[in-house]
Amino acid sequence: MPKNTSLLLIAPVAISVAAIAVFQAKAEPIEIEWITIDEPGNEADYRYEGRGVGAVDYTYRIMKYEVTAGQYTAFLNAVAATDPWNLYNYDMEDPEDEYGCGIVRSGDPGNYTYTVVPGREKVPVNFVSMRDAMRFANWMHNGQPNAPVGPGVTEDGAYDLTPNPVGSPSREPGALFHLPSENEWYKAAYYEPGTGNGYWDYPTSNFNPPISEAPPGGPNSANYARPVTDLTDVGAYLEAKSPWGTFDQGGNVWELSDTKDLWSVPPDPDDPLVRGGGWWGTSSIDLSAATWIDWEDSDQEFDLGFRLAAAPQAPCPLDLDGNGSIGPGDVGVIKNSFGCDLNEPACAALDLDENGAVGPGDVGVVKNGFGPCP
């Protein structure tokens, strides 16, 4: 079964002349690499949970890596010049004493800017709450706008936060980007494609506990039990990946899901379930398929982060180089095919202006479509 990946580059959306003047210079688009998880209808894993975990009856995507400090900094620069919802936590700033991811805030309210300590750009963001992650997902759903927090930016889209309800709002129908459900997360971490019901115990495609060691490690290694007493760059364990090709679903940081805790005694439906274990924990069982924990929805901790899931990528005919966006690379594909033989199907597909030849007119069609794929 192929482990499909795709790249998504979403350009900032202009909200107004005023918004451009205030925000555009600060925010940069972020690039995310995705893994497509298919085989809809796989059976659940009942080995450790009588309720069954991991069955998903649709195709979806999940981030190959955890959301990084660099990506979260771009989000803050786009929406948090004022930061009324405390999307930034000052503990993020200090990698030494607080084990922060290294995001630094400067300026005064209304003019905050954010940077990353050099060398920390690719560690996972930490000290984020459930709602911080949901606002990041809403921002992605809404096209990464450069505008203050509010409706159409951070408060709706994948999750409706407009009334600011207590607890964890449910995912909205049609969400384009969102936290993974527990089942989505579990399938990406442990399910072996092509088996129908085969699950590993650990998200390194293994039944044996990973080795706690510094990266790059081997094919069954992870950042837990403090091998470096810190976060590590996402994907630093180069050979240790899930059956689908995701990295760090075991160790580094615990990861949020948008599944509510209905199984504790008593249940706590305001709180999300988290999985995967973190770098601080000393037991490999934290990384295993057997372990989930209830996490207070407002907690921001040094060993908690997240990754997003997403709807399947829509067809994108102008994405000729397959990188998830329409840009200069696609122009290059056209130019390299100038004068090709239209009797060849691959050439005929590049005659975008349908004038009987692949040439400058087709370059114009591509340039007019510059931007993200749907």
Q: Which residue has the higher pLDDT, 279 or 263?
A: 279
Domain boundary pick from 287, 313, 339: 313
What is the arithmetic mean of pLDDT over 246-260? 96
DSSP 248-297: -SSSSSEEEEEEEE-SSSS-EEEEEEEES--SS---GGGGSTT--EE--T
Would you state the torsion angle of the CA atoms of residues 253, 259, 260, 265, taken in this order, to the nearest 10 degrees? -80
Same domain for 358 and 249? no
Same domain for 241 and 340? no
Same domain for 149 and 70? yes
Same domain for 51 and 193? yes
Same domain for 307 and 330? no
How confident is the model at residue 138, as a pLDDT? 96
Helix (H) or strand (E) holding 309: strand 309-310
Q: Which residue has the higher pLDDT, 371 or 203?
A: 203
Q: Cα dist. 117→78, 105, 158 in Å?
A: 18, 11, 30
Q: Which residues, 6 or more positions from 367, have their beta carbon under 8 angstroms from its beta carbon?
A: 331
Same domain for 260 and 120? yes
State percent of the chain over pLDDT 70.
89
Q: Cα dist. 127→94, 230, 252, 258, 277 in Å?
A: 11, 14, 13, 17, 15
The reply to whether 194 falls in a domain is yes
Domain count, the chain: 2
The reply to whether 144 falls in a domain is yes
Same domain for 358 and 217? no
What is the arithmetic mean of pLDDT over 224-237? 97
pLDDT of residue 244 exceeding 50: yes
pTM of the model: 0.80
SS3 string of 102-157? CEEEECCCCCCEEEECCCCCCCECCCCCHHHHHHHHHHHHCCCECCCCCCCCCCCC
CATH, residue 192: 3.90.1580.10
The reply to whether 151 falls in a domain is yes
pLDDT of residue 16 exceeding 90: no
Gap between the Cα atoms of 91 and 104, Å rounded: 9
The residue ranges of DSSP E strands in 4-63, in sequence order, are: 5-9, 31-37, 60-63
Write out the residue range of the structural domain in which residue 234 sits: 1-313
The reply to whether 120 falls in a domain is yes
The reply to whether 165 falls in a domain is yes
Domain boundary pick from 286, 313, 340: 313
Q: Cα dist. 160→143, 201, 271 in Å?
A: 16, 35, 16
The least confident of 14-28, 143-157, 224-238 is 14-28
Same domain for 249 and 113? yes
Same domain for 154 and 64? yes
The reply to whether 24 falls in a domain is yes
pLDDT of residue 13 exceeding 50: no
Same domain for 288 and 189? yes
Gap between the Cα atoms of 152 and 189, Å rounded: 32
The pLDDT tens digits of the residues spanning 185-198 come to 999 999 999 998 89
The reply to whether 320 falls in a domain is no
CATH, residue 342: 1.10.1330
The packing angle between helices 69-79 and 130-141, to 10°, is 70
Same domain for 257 and 346? no
How confident is the model at residue 167, as a pLDDT? 66
The pLDDT tens digits of the residues spanning 170-184 come to 999 999 999 999 999
pLDDT of residue 6 exceeding 50: no
Domain boundary pick from 283, 313, 343: 313
Same domain for 288 and 334? no
The reply to whether 252 falls in a domain is yes
Q: Which residue has the higher pLDDT, 9 or 239?
A: 239
